[in-house]
Amino acid sequence: MIQMHNVFMSYQPESSALADINLKIPKGDFVFLTGQSGAGKSTLLKLVYADLTPTRGQVLIDGVNLTRLSRSQIPLLRRSIGVVFQDYKLLPNRTVLENVAITLEVLGWGKRDIGKKVFHILKRMGLEDKVNATPLRLSGGEQQRVALARALVNDPKILVADEPTGNLDDENKEAILSIFKEANNRGTTVVVATHDRRVIENSHRTVIRLDKGRIVEVPDVQG
Amino acid sequence: MSKANKGAVRPKLEQEGFFGRLSYFSSRAVANLRQNVFVSAVTVGTIALALLIASLFLLVYVNLDGMAQGWSDKVQVTAYFDQEPAPLAVAALKGRVQAIPGTAKVIFVSQAEAEKRLRSRLKGQESLLEGITQEVLPASLEIRLDREHRDNESVAAYVRKLKQIQGISEVQYGEEWVQRFNSFMNLFRLMGGLLGAFLTITVLFIVSNTIKLTIYARKDELELLGLVGATRFFIKAPFLIEGVLQGAAGAVISLLALLACYYTFLKNAGDFLGINPASAGLSFLPATHLAGIVAGGVLLGFIGSATSLKRFINV
């Protein structure tokens, strides 16, 4: 479960990226985070995977207060959260297999098991014939699916995605969304930040709307 | 919801334990070197060039120091006797001198031997020796000091102790020469030390900045590893091993280049320049110095990587 209590976040003293955020996302839920550019969507996601620490307030994942985590505990938290970045963050000089394998290498998996698991997820993503390609040789949709494979390969408890459909055509958007749904059906809590209204409208899921760093619409806020 | 995912179960612990982890980090480091060939080559090249300059300096310094040490062998103390000691007393006197700290070698020169030496030196000018008998020339002890006792103060202290031995009337040791020689050696070592220090700082600066740039080029990789849950150690270890490998490779290349320079130019520097800087020509660096250069390369790579990584790891 993801909880935020009175969260404020400022990059500079005079302006706040997030103000008085209170939300509760239950385990296994699928939530869209929406709002204009600069509304605070990416900042909110970064708070979830502890890339940022709130200026004020508490962020809790499964009851663990992230603001009280020591530096050595943060990696352990991140291993249970899959992240799909807006710019994919694929390593250009590593193959698709190596890019996805990173997540499992960090967990200390053996080479053979990594190979099996990565091939399995790439097959699920329809990328089994791109295993040895480098990201620069892939289309935008394929790169996004590699990023998704990397985020999902260790079956994370939470998946957060920042504008995952931003640069994709309708067909690829559909493919990506169905992967999110599949992950959610397997028990992963999914939080997707997007400003693509069509994606939200067709999904029939919970929507949290942000405006200038504040939540303006959330159907089930339980502070 | 009860269907909540508990994360994938890790099936095997192949990388558990020291050797398992070391093997993983080493293979990752080698793979990184292969995937970043150009950047790695630039680092290795910079380390090799920097160490080549430093080792060339060391080669010249070691040879000059060796030459200077050779000259210091001329620091010799001669103790003259009032009267030639009896043959039985000579051994006892030599023993007493030998017991003074700093004595390397003692030779007894009898009056007869002194006369013989003088005659051989003045061969062809025997008329000058008319009227000179053995009795005019005093018997003496020629003493060579060990290297640690050839500086001004040590020689003066040695001479004071020598004068306390009964029967010794006068001691000569070329005071002025010793002082000049030691002043030269002090200046030489000071200049060598200063140049060496500047060179070391320059090498450190160039190498650490090159490594910093190469790590900066891979900052996305460092960031990503942190975001997928890698610990600081997990992120740093392959980079540190890479640094060590690059440092070692740079050092070996620099030594090969030094060897090539030595055999092409320096070994025969005497013929090449028309003068011979040392009577036996320049000698190559001793094995301890070569091992030191390789260790220096490894240390450079390691420290350069460690300090640069600090700036780019946010975990």
Runs of H (alpha helix) within chain A: 41-48, 74-78, 96-107, 111-124, 140-152, 170-185, 197-203
- Starting at the edge strand found earlier in the chain, the sheet holding B103-109 runs B103-109, B140-145, B76-81, B168-172
Checking if the pLDDT of A101 tops 70, the result is yes
CATH number at residue B165: 3.30.70.3040
User: What would the pLDDT profile of B205-242 be if each residue is shown by its tens digit?
Assistant: 888 888 888 888 888 899 999 999 999 999 999 999 99
**Domain for residue B64, yes or no?**
yes
| Chain B residues with CB within 8 Å of chain A CB | 1-8, 10-16, 24, 28, 35-36, 220-221, 223-232, 234, 315
Q: Are residues B80 and B58 in the same domain?
A: no
Nearest to A76 among B4, B11, B229 (CB): B229
Higher-confidence residue of A177 and B123: namely: A177
What secondary structure letter does DSSP report for A196? Answer: -
Residues A81-103 have a mean pLDDT of 94
Q: Are residues B106 and B158 in the same domain?
A: yes
Task: Pick A31-42+78-217's CATH classification: 3.90.180.10, 3.40.50.300, 2.40.50.140, 3.50.50.60.
Answer: 3.40.50.300
Which amino acid appears at position A78 of this protein?
R
Checking if the pLDDT of B5 tops 90, the result is no
Pairs across A and B, CB distance < 8 A: 106
With CA atoms as reference, report the closest residue to B78 among B208, B177, B192, B194: B177
Q: Are residues B47 and B80 in the same domain?
A: no
Least confident of A105-119, B110-124, B270-284: B270-284
User: What would the pLDDT profile of A175-206 be if each residue is shown by its tens digit?
Assistant: 888 999 999 999 999 999 998 888 888 777 88
* Residue after which a domain boundary falls, among B150, B172, B194: B172
**Domain for residue B147, yes or no?**
yes
Strands (E), B94-139: 103-109
Cβ–Cβ < 8 Å for B165, B94: no
Give the pLDDT score at B1: 41
Give the pLDDT score at B9: 53
Q: How far apart are CA B228 and CA A78, in angstroms?
A: 6
**Domain for residue B10, yes or no?**
no
Q: Are residues B105 and B230 in the same domain?
A: no
Give the pLDDT score at B281: 65
Residues B185-202 have a mean pLDDT of 89
For A41, the 3-state DSSP assignment is: helix
Local confidence band at B126 (pLDDT 50, 70, 90 cut-offs): confident
Q: Are residues B280 and B190 in the same domain?
A: yes
With CA atoms as reference, report the closest residue to B140 among B98, B91, B72, B82: B82
Checking if the pLDDT of B72 tops 80, the result is no
Task: For Cα atoms B313, A68, A65, give the angle at the middle one, nearest 5 degrees.
Answer: 115
Secondary-structure percent of chain B, ordered helix, strand, coil, rounded to 5: 70, 10, 25
Give the pLDDT score at B283: 84
Which own/partner pairs from B22-25 qualify as long-range (CB within 8 Å, at least 24 positions apart)? Answer: B24/A105, B25/B237, B25/B238, B25/B241
* Residue after which a domain boundary falls, among B117, B140, B172: B172
Nearest residue of chain A to residue B234 (CA atoms): A106
Residues B244-257 have a mean pLDDT of 95
What DSSP line would sit under A138-195, residue for residue?
S-HHHHHHHHHHHHHTT--SEEEEESTTTT--HHHHHHHHHHHHHHHHTT-EEEEE--
**Domain for residue B29, yes or no?**
yes
- CB–CB of B229 and A71 under 8 A? no
Higher-confidence residue of B269 and A64: namely: A64
Which amino acid appears at position B208 of this protein?
S
Least confident of A88-102, A131-145, B172-186, B244-258: B172-186
- CB–CB of A108 and B315 under 8 A? no
Task: Quote the percentage of chain B above a pLDDT of 90.
Answer: 28
Higher-confidence residue of B3 and B205: namely: B205
Q: Is the torsion defined by CA of B247, B248, B250, B254 positive or negative?
A: positive
Checking if the pLDDT of A220 tops 70, the result is no
Q: Are residues B50 and B115 in the same domain?
A: no
Checking if the pLDDT of A127 tops 60, the result is yes
Checking if the pLDDT of B84 tops 70, the result is yes
Checking if the pLDDT of B135 tops 80, the result is no
For residue B224, the chain A residues in CB contact (below 8 A) are 89, 91, 102
Task: For Cα atoms A19, A22, A28, give the angle at the middle one, nearest 5 degrees.
Answer: 130
Cβ–Cβ < 8 Å for B300, B206: no
Checking if the pLDDT of B4 tops 60, the result is no
With CA atoms as reference, report the closest residue to B229 among A151, A5, A128, A145: A151
Give the pLDDT score at A205: 87
Domain coverage including residue B86: 76-172
**Domain for residue B293, yes or no?**
yes
Q: Are residues B117 and B252 in the same domain?
A: no
User: What would the pLDDT profile of B29-70 be if each residue is shown by its tens digit?
Assistant: 998 888 888 889 999 999 999 999 999 989 988 888 887 777
* Residue after which a domain boundary falls, among B137, B172, B207: B172
ipTM confidence score: 0.88
Give the pLDDT score at B2: 42
Instruction: Name residues whose C-beta falls within 8 Å of residue B42's C-beta, 6 or more positions apart in sequence.
Output: B210, B214
Q: How far apart are CA A208 and CA A119, in angstroms?
A: 35
Q: Are residues B306 and B216 in the same domain?
A: yes
Query: For all residues of chain B together, what is the average pLDDT?
Result: 84
Choose the most confident range, by mean pLDDT, from B17-21, B22-26, B42-46, B88-92: B42-46
Q: Are residues B118 and B86 in the same domain?
A: yes
Local confidence band at A218 (pLDDT 50, 70, 90 cut-offs): low
Locate B176 and state its tokens. Answer: 């002025």
Checking if the pLDDT of A221 tops 50, the result is no
Best mutation site among B32, B228, B235, B242 for testing chain A: the one with the most A CBs within 10 Å? B228
What are the residues facing B4 on neighbouring strands?
none
Q: Distance (Å) from the C-alpha of residue B230 to the closest C-alpha of chain A?
A: 5
Give the pLDDT score at B269: 65
Q: Are residues B188 and B276 in the same domain?
A: yes
Checking if the pLDDT of A219 tops 70, the result is no
Nearest residue of chain A to residue B233 (CA atoms): A72
Q: Are residues B144 and B278 in the same domain?
A: no
Local confidence band at B200 (pLDDT 50, 70, 90 cut-offs): confident
Higher-confidence residue of B179 and A23: namely: A23
Q: Distance (Å) from the C-alpha of residue A218 to the closest C-alpha of chain B?
A: 20
Residues B170-189 have a mean pLDDT of 83
Give the pLDDT score at B16: 57
**Domain for residue B248, yes or no?**
yes
Q: Are residues B43 and B145 in the same domain?
A: no
Higher-confidence residue of B66 and B251: namely: B251
